[in-house]
């Protein structure tokens, strides 16, 4: 028999997951806008920008008392996923 409290918490996690999907959709829209302004595939990966993002997330995570290893892993994965997305959707002008 499953613990009722676990089920209640899992339902809350499911609701958060749906909210995260909405945020990912919004982020995808913005990435598409940026992609339209890139003329060459070598503009897709910007190591300087990636470093700035990861440093900012690390600082904010510590400030908000979130394990930075978790957020760093999530953001690196998300960045990789969006880079792959940009390469798949890049259209030469």
Q: How many CB atoms lie within 10 A of CB 57?
A: 18
Domain ranges of the chain: 4-89
> What's residue 88's pLDDT?
95
DSSP state of 3: -
**Confidence check: pLDDT of 1 > 60:** no
Say what the pTM is: 0.88
**Integer angstrom CA distances of residue 78 from 7, 29, 34, 45, 50:** 28, 14, 16, 13, 11
Q: Give pLDDT, residue 91.
A: 83
Considering the domain 4-89, what is its CATH architecture? Up-down Bundle (1.20)
As given in the structure block, the two tokens for residue 26 are: 């919004």
| 5-38 pLDDT, tens digit each | 999 999 999 999 999 999 999 999 999 999 999 9
Phi, psi values for residue 39, rounded to 5°: -95, -25
């Amino acid at each position: 028999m499953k613990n009722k409290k676990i089920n209640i918490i899992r339902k809350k996690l499911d609701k958060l997951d749906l909210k995260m999907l909405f945020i990912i959709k919004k982020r995808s829209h913005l990435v598409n806008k940026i992609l339209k302004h890139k003329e060459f595939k070598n503009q897709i990966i910007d190591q300087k920008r990636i470093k700035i993002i990861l440093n900012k997330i690390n600082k904010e995570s510590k400030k908000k008392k979130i394990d930075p290893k978790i957020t760093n892993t999530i953001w690196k994965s998300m960045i990789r996923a969006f880079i792959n997305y940009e390469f798949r959707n890049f259209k030469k002008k």
